[in-house]
Amino acid sequence: MEALISILFDGLAYAMLLFIISVGLSVTMGLMGFVNLAHGAFAMVGGYVLVTLMTGYGLPFVAALVIAPVIVGIGSIPFERFLYAPLYKAGELDQVLLSIGLVFVTIGVVTFIYGPAPPAIPMPEFLTGQVNLGFREVPTYRFFIILIGCVMMAILWFAFERTLLGAKIRAAVDNRRMAQSVGIDVDRLFVLVFAIGSGLAALGGGLAIEIVGMSPTFAIQYLVFFLIVVAVGGLGSMGGAFVAAIVLGVLDTAGKYLWPDGGAFFIYAATVAILLYRPAGLFGRAS
Amino acid sequence: MNATVKTDPTAELRNRHRWRPVEALPWLTAFAAFALLPDYAALGTQIIIMIIFALSMDLILGYAGVVSLGHAAYFGAGAYATGMLSALLGWNEPLTGLLAGGLAGGALGLLSGLVLLRYHGLTLLMLTLAFAILLQEAANTAAPVTGGFDGLQGISIDPIFGLFENDLWGHHYYWYSLSILFLVFLVARRIVHSPFGRSLVGVRENVRRMNAIGTPVFGRLVAVYTISAAMAGIAGGLFAQSNAYVTLDVLDFARSGTVLIVLVLGGTGRLYGAFLGGAVYMVLEDELARISPEFWEIGVGLVLIAVVLFFRGGLLGASDALMRLIRGRSPR
Amino acid sequence: MSAALQLTGLDKHFGALHVTRGVDLTLEAGARHALIGPNGAGKTTLVNLVTGMLTPDAGKVSLNGRDITGLGQAERVRAGIARTFQINQLFRGLSALENVVLALSEREGIARQIWQPAGTNSAILDEAMAILSSLGVGADAGKTISGLPYGRQRLIEIAITLALKPRVLLLDEPAAGVPSVESDVILDVIAGLPSDIAILIIEHDMDVVFRFASRISVLVDGGVLTEGTPDEIARDPEVRAVYLGEESHG
């Protein structure tokens, strides 16, 4: 029983990480239909920017966790304008190739600057050790991540469902041409969504350093999982990404604990099964 | 162009399949490469294997327009089939072993294609990716049979025709793979020039119109997917034979990604793009990745971005444009 | 003698939207039948139901007495139905000739051939040229579709359907998007189509409709308002009311 709760907890923390990184990808793919395999690279860059902010500029962890996403979010805009925008009407192949190319360049640059070894960052005192939740003691950092994940979900949900901007985004995801014809500036909307998505990915990357570790191969290593969360959850569905991330995170963690030799198998089998049955994802809309 | 001369508009279609002198170029290059750089025969064999793999990819991607991120699944199936035949069952005859690799790839292609090809777009991308990874995990779990993470050992292939063994310099295997490439290429070339092959182009260009002229699209796609998977299996089988060693890498996403890059670099839908892309990529990788892996990676990335944004036809497309420029006509 | 095409009680919903309401329509062999109605009446949806792109919720589609409601698109084409699309659906990167050749290859059943080069099928190449010439676009045979003016592309779209030797031909706004200098050519071509083919044409341009059709069905809100000869339709007060204020679009 103890082990089960541990697995659940670790799985949830991992799930929140996946969610925070993948939700941006889900919305941008749902909005522009652009297959962006470089999303993991933005997460990775976020992690490394955080490392530099802390080790190079001496910023505390939480402050860096706020600043790094902003830097990456704003920094992603020129990429969107000059590399991605020309390909919105192109086929999947072009988009896949462009984003893979971007990943390679990013990995090469990061390896060149930081080297291939995983970087280390000084964690603040209050996030180490265990925290007492009343009925149980749990690792503080994982609890921290779960908290942030839930807070992010709440903020995003509120912004999506209750604000005018959110309504515009939902309209554009639902039917881009219709949204354009009622006067919504979809292109500008997209830049905003892209920047926020990349920023969130960076946040996830920063959080990931102490949980799964960071390295130049992070962008590709975890890419499959981000894509699975998006595809299984359904393009453009935040709730779908949340649910898919939880399922994936818990299943993967459980698989690794209970069956170290073949645990990963379940994730991919589950993904294939879900996509065969519901090609548009659990919460996606069949076009 | 002299306006009074009547040209038969059907001439181009009638003669498209005829051999042109320039098509001897790849084979002459292969001969010359061996003559000038015999020490690189082993690399040459691996280049040839990559070209066969890329040819198989061109059939589904370049001609039928099916984008797959998991084509290594069939390469790996062929590699393991050929390898296990030797390592586990002691069947070491190379040609039948290779055939087994092709059959394994083809069978897997048929079964998976019947399921996968009902989907398209992102879903297909994800399914092909997940399928290949699934296969890799399965191979890992089946370690007693496949060798798992440590790889399949004990592969020992008999000399070809009882005469030509895989010698230290790799000379025999160079000619062996080149012959296989030639045969595979002949088949691929016939397919793409046939009415079947042309209908694949139709599916790629406008599947809605294909449906509206009565094409059983699904059946066509499954057929070409199976053939392509069999070819990939042959490439995998050659890989197992030439390296006498098979690891989980043969099913890797990196392998699927690399063949995609190679084909796009060379130019899709031309068959010869596979030759050009394969040769250029692997030679450059051999030279540059050794010097600085990071800069090689950055270089590949930049080239990819450049190809997508500016050089849509890859190297072949760029050389076509150059030829047109030289001949004085404006590039279309 | 069964009709070339018979639609009985065709019905279709998109969620809560009732897009086709119990449509009955009969086309005899050689018919020249026009389908008119305001925008959004469901004309293209009806065509999609006939060709098999959509499955009806209820109703029957019969071709020469044979029930084809359960057949897929490709099978219906082979049974003898062909259509043009409102927006050209051509193989834009291929030549006009090859566009027609692909259709002929399917019709002749040789598209499954995997070994013989396509260029050796002389009969098909000749027939493709003949079809293009008969529509007056023989000179464009070797040219790529994307380089041709829209009006000529439209003619090639029609050429493809003729290549299929259909018994029933559905033309979805054949002159739409074509500048008026070119649309006359298209209309002449349509007027000259073989008299044994049953043709259903969707049109907005009343001049075209009255020139071409011997029978007209008026579709409003997914249902057939009325059907009759051009004279009857022209005098029908209900039809007038539907079109009141709507000038014919050129």
Between residues A26 and B5, the one the model is more confident about: A26
Q: How far apart are the first and last CA of chain C?
A: 38
Q: Is the pLDDT of residue B317 over 60?
A: yes
**Whole-structure pTM value:** 0.91
Q: Is the pLDDT of residue A130 over 90?
A: no
Q: Could you read off the pLDDT of C171-212 as tens digits, one per residue?
A: 998 888 888 777 888 888 888 888 899 999 998 888 888 888
Distance CA(B71)–CA(B201), nearest Å, equals 20
Q: Could you read off the pLDDT of B176-223 as tens digits, one per residue?
A: 999 999 999 999 999 999 999 999 999 999 999 999 999 999 999 999
Query: Mean pLDDT, to the nearest integer, of A70-82?
Result: 94
* CB pair distance less than 8 Å for B307 and A97: yes
Confidence of residue B157 (pLDDT cuts 50, 70, 90): confident
Report whether C132 contacts C81 (CB < 8 A). no
Q: Which residues pair with C171 in a beta bridge?
A: C84, C201
Q: Which residues of A touch B68 (CB under 8 A)?
A: none
* CB pair distance less than 8 Å for A111 and B137: no
Percent of chain B with pLDDT over 90: 73
Confidence of residue A251 (pLDDT cuts 50, 70, 90): confident
Report the complex ipTM: 0.88
Extract the residue ranges of chain C whose pLDDT is less than 50. 245, 248-250
Q: Is B205 on the interface with A (CB under 8 A)?
A: no
Considering only CB atoms, C78 lies closest to which of B198, B199, B214, namely B214
Confidence of residue B132 (pLDDT cuts 50, 70, 90): very high
Q: Which residues of C touch B223 (CB under 8 A)?
A: 114
What are the start-end ranges of the E strands in C16-94? 17-27, 32-36, 58-63, 66-67, 81-84
Q: Both tokens of residue B20? A: 């042109």
Q: Which of C77, C104, C105, C107 to mutate to test the interface with B (most CBs of B within 10 A)?
A: C105
How far off is chain C from B281, nearest CA to CA, in Å? Answer: 28
Residue B6: what pLDDT?
62
Report whether C187 contacts C212 (CB < 8 A). yes
Mark whether B and C touch (3+ CB pairs within 8 Å).
yes
How far off is chain B from C94, nearest CA to CA, in Å? Answer: 9
Q: Is B294 on the interface with C (CB under 8 A)?
A: no
Over its C-alpha atoms, chain B yields an Rg (Å, rounded) of 20
Q: Which residues pair with C62 in a beta bridge?
A: C6, C67
Confidence of residue B174 (pLDDT cuts 50, 70, 90): very high
Q: Could you read off the pLDDT of B79-98 as tens digits, one per residue?
A: 999 999 999 998 899 999 99
Instruction: Look at the block and give the residue holding tokens 């800069």.
Output: B295
Q: Is C59 left (phi over 0), alpha (psi -120 to 50) or beta?
A: left
Least CA distance to C166: which residue of chain B? Answer: B213
Query: Mean pLDDT, to the nearest integer, of A205-227?
Result: 90
How far off is chain B from A211, nearest CA to CA, in Å? Answer: 24
Q: Is B142 on the interface with C (CB under 8 A)?
A: no
Q: Is B50 on the interface with C (CB under 8 A)?
A: no
Residue C1: what pLDDT?
60
DSSP alpha helix (H) spans, chain C: 43-51, 73-79, 96-108, 122-134, 150-163, 180-191, 206-212, 230-235, 237-243
Query: Mean pLDDT, to the nearest integer, of B50-67?
Result: 96
- Mean pLDDT over all residues of chain B? 91
A-proximal residues of B, 61-100, CB under 8 Å = 61, 67, 69
Query: Mean pLDDT, to the nearest integer, of A222-233?
Result: 90
Query: Mean pLDDT, to the nearest integer, of A274-283?
Result: 85
Q: Is the pLDDT of residue B4 over 60?
A: no
Strands A130-132 and C17-27: unpaired
Q: Could you read off the pLDDT of B237-284 as tens digits, one per residue?
A: 999 999 999 999 999 999 999 999 999 999 999 999 999 999 999 999
Q: Both tokens of residue C212? A: 């071409």
